[in-house]
Chains A and B, each alone.
Chain A
Amino acid sequence: MATEFPVTVGGASAPSTKLAGGKRLRFAVPTSENGLKAAHFRNGRLAAALLAPQLLVLLFFFFIPSYKALSLAFVQVDPFGGREIFVGLENFTRLFSSEEYRSSAWITLWFTLIQNVVTIGLAMLFAFATDYVARGKGLYKLVILIPYAIAPVISGILWAFLFNPAVGPLAQLLHSFGIPWDPNRRPFDAQLLVIIASVWKHICYDYIFMVAALLAVPTSLLEASRLDGAGPVRRFFTISLPLIAPTVFFLIVMNFTYGLFETFGIIDAVTKGGPAGSTNILVYKVYQDGFVQLDLGSSAAQSVILMFVAIVFTILQFRGVERKVNYQI
Chain B
Amino acid sequence: MKENKLGLSIFCHAVLVFAALLVGLPLYFAFVAGSLSLQEVQQAPFPWVPGAHLIDNAVEAWTTGGFGRSFMNSIIVTVGIVVGKLAISLIAAYAVTYFRFPFRMTAFWLIFVSLMLPVEVRIIPTYEAVADTAGPIRWLLNVVGISGALESLFGYRIDAYLQWNMINSYGGLILPLIASATATFLFRQFFLTVPDELCEAAQLDGAGPIKFFWQILLPLSAANIAALCIIQFVYGWNQYLWPLLFTTDKSMATAILGLKNLIPVNDSVPAWNLAMNAALFVMLPPALIILVMQRWFTKGLVDAGK
Contacts and interface: CB of A to CB of B under 8 A. Distances in A.
B259 to A, nearest CB: 7
B262 to A, nearest CB: 9
A59 B301 CA distance: 27
Interface string A145-180: 111111111100111111010111100100000000
Given A15-B189, A149-B286, A261-B121, A269 B260 contact: yes
B96 A69 contact: no
Nearest to B126: A65
A226 B241 CA distance: 51
A290 B256 CA distance: 22
Nearest to A44: B101
Interface residues of A, number: 123
Nearest to A46: B209
A92 interface: no
Contacts of A158: 26-27, 29-30, 276, 279
Contacts of B100: 33, 36, 40-42
A303 interface: yes
Contact of B133 (A5, A60, A142, A306): A60
Contacts of A114: none
B304 to A, nearest CB: 4
A208 B121 contact: no
Interface stretch (B49-57, B58-66, B102-110, B141-149): B102-110
Nearest to A67: B125
B1 A223 contact: yes
A151 B257 CA distance: 11
Interface string B190-221: 01111011011001000011100000000000
Contacts of B245: 291
A144 interface: yes
Please report whether the interface of chain A is mostly helix, strand, loop or mixed according to DSSP.
helix
A197 to B, nearest CB: 9
Contacts, number: 371
A134 B108 CA distance: 46
Please report whether the interface of chain B is mostly helix, strand, loop or mixed according to DSSP.
helix
B1 A159 contact: no
A35 B97 contact: yes
Contacts of A36: 97-98, 100, 104
A101 interface: no
Contacts of B136: 59-60, 64
A311 B116 contact: yes
B20 A144 contact: yes
Contacts of A169: 29, 46
B89 interface: yes
A131 B175 CA distance: 41
B182 A7 contact: yes
A278 B162 CA distance: 45
Nearest to A138: B294
Interface string A120-144: 0010011011101110100011111
7 contacts: A36-B100, A41-B208, A43-B101, A145-B290, A154-B259, A268-B244, A314-B116
